[in-house]
Amino acid sequence: MSGILVVGTGNSWRGDDAVGLEVASALRGRLPETVRVLATEAEQSSLMDEWEGCDAVLIVDAVHSGAAPGSIHRVDLNAEVVPHAVLQGSTHHFSLGDTIELARALKRLPAKALFLGIEGESFSPGEPLSPAVAAAVPAIVEEIAKEVEALLNGN
């Protein structure tokens, strides 16, 4: 399989909302060069253009659903809708959930599309990642590395 994109999205100035960016940074140099890793704070609707032509996209972002901080949410985007509760509270005008649902309606989701959300605790401006969220980064990096390996091996 070719055309794998891993997207870490978020806001570097809003505490735990930066976790997707941190995960993307940790994945650089760890994944094969054929896998594109993107850390972005851009408006979410631009992601459809980023994954255009990709066979697979893995998206990492902070979520705020009321689960325990650092919990990992995993959603196969071609099999189910991302629960609204998981993506509530976006700091973007056009949320990631809106982007995913628009891509689904337009048939612009890659054949393999996976969302990995890390439950945030604090989204206060200027704060670093909370300890629970920072502690979840290595686990989600490992999960993504295994997922990419499986994709590259045709699984």
* pLDDT of 116: 94
Fold of 4-152: Rossmann fold (3.40.50)
| pLDDT over threshold 60, residue 115 | yes
Residues 122 and 87: their CA atoms lie apart, in Å, by 15
In whole angstroms, give the CA distance from residue 140 to residue 71. Answer: 10
Position 149 scores a pLDDT of 95
Q: Starting at the edge strand that comes first in sequence, how are the strands of the sheet with 56-63 ordered?
A: 35-40, 4-9, 56-63, 112-119, 72-76
Model confidence pLDDT, tens digit, residues 54-72: 999 999 999 988 899 999 9
pLDDT over threshold 80, residue 93: no
DSSP designation for 87 = S
pLDDT at residue number 87: 58
| Across 86-95, average pLDDT | 56
Q: Which two tokens stand for residue 114?
A: 């996976």
Domain range list for the chain: 4-152
Q: Is 89 left (phi over 0), alpha (psi -120 to 50) or beta?
A: left
Q: What is the mean pLDDT of residues 122-145?
A: 96
pTM of the model: 0.88
Between 98 and 117, the more confident residue is 117
Task: Give me the amino acid identity at 120.
Answer: G
pLDDT digits (tens, 9 = 90+) for 7-64: 999 999 999 999 999 999 999 989 999 999 999 988 777 788 889 889 999 999 999 8
